[in-house]
Amino acid sequence: MKHLLSTEGIDPAVATSILDTADNLKRALLGREVRKLPTLRGRTVITMFYENSTRTRVSFEIAGKWMSADVINVSSSGSSVSKGESLRDTALTLAAAGADCVIVRHPASGAAHRLAGWLAEAGTSVINAGDGMHEHPTQALLDAATLRERLGSIEGKRIAIVGDVLHSRVARSNVHLLTALGADVTLVAPPTLLPTGVENWPVTVSHELDAELPSLDAVMLLRVQAERMTGGFFPSAREYSIAYGLNENRLRLMPEHAVVLHPGPMLRGMEIASAVADSPRAAITDQVRNGVHLRMAVLYHLLAHEEESS
């Protein structure tokens, strides 16, 4: 594997082997005094974040450092990007400076794909850490890792993705990955927050959260992305939260074993009630913890093998 750009069309065997690697890394590091593996010594990993992030950037940085790679963070403010340098020129500069892997987050959908094309000659690997409203593959993989850990398996499980599907790259990546792994995925959202063409996705669509809850194995809540909303998608925040927010009463409608996921950052009181977010049914901190091991696994699969001759 050279790049990780999307989960669309991912080979389920490849996805499963990344999840297995993450599991083994987690076990290998459990209870260790020295959380440092020599595997990626001498490799340079650069994170390029053109959008804000806490979880993703930090967990990629920790993942790289725990595997002994040199990790350098570039953000759009404080770099030549603020002087007007293009994405392509910045990326070529970083590749020329010696990056083996570039991890990119960008507000434009498709940015990571373009980058992979530009960097093909330099042989640099590209990881998509979120591109606009398109994909966020490592988030989907860490969600799958968390679901597998909590539910034992993913195949045949009923999983609902609830909320702002229209603006969500997390939803897209999860739909592709979870259905590839055999899950039965339902999107639950008001019609205004569903993308056009959703009827061609391998999912069922519902507008009634309460009707879905009793048969779910997991519910994944999405943040309402005010920064990407250009018009009125719903009458008011309060109305959205009444219709689609996961509160304690709704949690009781779900089976005992069902898990609550949220990719973060959470808007407490909006898509998720505070009591639900802090309940043992929520796997939200597990998601972050698994995110580090999962990203280590992705770096391992991208960087710890012989150069592919193109």
Partner 1 sequence: MGIPSRGAPLARRLARKIAEFSGVEVPTGTLDVTLYRDDLRRGPTRPLETTALPEGGIDDRLVVLVDDVLFSGRTIRAALDALRDHGRPRAVQLAVLVDRGHRELPIRADYVGKNVPTARTEDVAVLLEEFDKRDGVVLR
Q: Could you tell me the CA-to-CA distances from 32 to 36, 49, 296 in Å, in that order?
A: 9, 31, 16
Sign for the CA dihedral angle at 69, 129, 269, 260 comes to negative
Residues 103-122 contacting partner 1, CB under 8 A: none
What gap in Å lies between CA 15 and CA 9, rounded to an integer?
Answer: 11
Residues 13-32 contacting partner 1, CB under 8 A: 17, 20-21, 24-25, 27-28, 32
Instruction: Specify the residue for token string 């507008």.
Output: 207
Torsion of CA 93, 95, 97, 102, to 10 degrees: 100
Q: Is 228 one of the binding residues for partner 1 (CB under 8 A)? A: no
Q: Is 1 one of the binding residues for partner 1 (CB under 8 A)? A: yes
- Quick one: 129 or 299, whose CB is closer to partner 1? 299
- Quick one: 34 or 197, whose CB is closer to partner 1? 34
Q: Is 38 one of the binding residues for partner 1 (CB under 8 A)? A: yes
What gap in Å lies between CA 308 and CA 310, rounded to an integer?
Answer: 6
Among 36, 228, 238, 257, binds partner 1 (CB under 8 A): 36
Q: How far is the CB of 27 from partner 1 (least distance, A)?
A: 6
Q: Is 243 one of the binding residues for partner 1 (CB under 8 A)? A: no
β-pair type (101-106, 70-75): unpaired
- Quick one: 1 or 205, whose CB is closer to partner 1? 1
**In sequence order, which residues have a C-beta less than 8 Å from that of residue 247 and are 6 or more positions away?**
273, 275, 276
Q: Is 256 one of the binding residues for partner 1 (CB under 8 A)? A: no
Instruction: Specify the residue for token string 């055999």.
Output: 182
Site mask for partner 1 (CB under 8 A), range 59-98, x = bound: --------x-------------------------------
Among 13, 34, 196, 309, binds partner 1 (CB under 8 A): 34
Q: How far is the CB of 123 from partner 1 (least distance, A)?
A: 13
- Quick one: 106 or 148, whose CB is closer to partner 1? 148
Torsion of CA 289, 52, 180, 243, to 10 degrees: 90
Residues that bind partner 1 (rule: CB under 8 A) add up to a total of 22
* Nearest alpha-carbon partner for 76 in 99, 93, 51, 101: 51
Q: How far is the CB of 292 from partner 1 (least distance, A)?
A: 15
Among 8, 37, 113, 269, binds partner 1 (CB under 8 A): 37
Sign for the CA dihedral angle at 152, 154, 160, 161 comes to positive
Among 199, 227, 256, 306, binds partner 1 (CB under 8 A): 306
% helix, strand, coil for the chain, step of 5? 45, 15, 40
Q: Is 307 one of the binding residues for partner 1 (CB under 8 A)? A: yes
40 token code pair: 């990626």
Q: How far is the CB of 29 from partner 1 (least distance, A)?
A: 9
Q: How far is the CB of 64 from partner 1 (least distance, A)?
A: 14
For 70-104, letters b (16+ CB in 10 Å) and e give: bbbbbbbeebebeeeeebeebbbebbeeebbbbbb
Q: Is 310 one of the binding residues for partner 1 (CB under 8 A)? A: no
Q: Give me the residues that bind partner 1 (CB under 8 A), please.
A: 1, 17, 20-21, 24-25, 27-28, 32-34, 36-39, 67, 300-301, 304-307
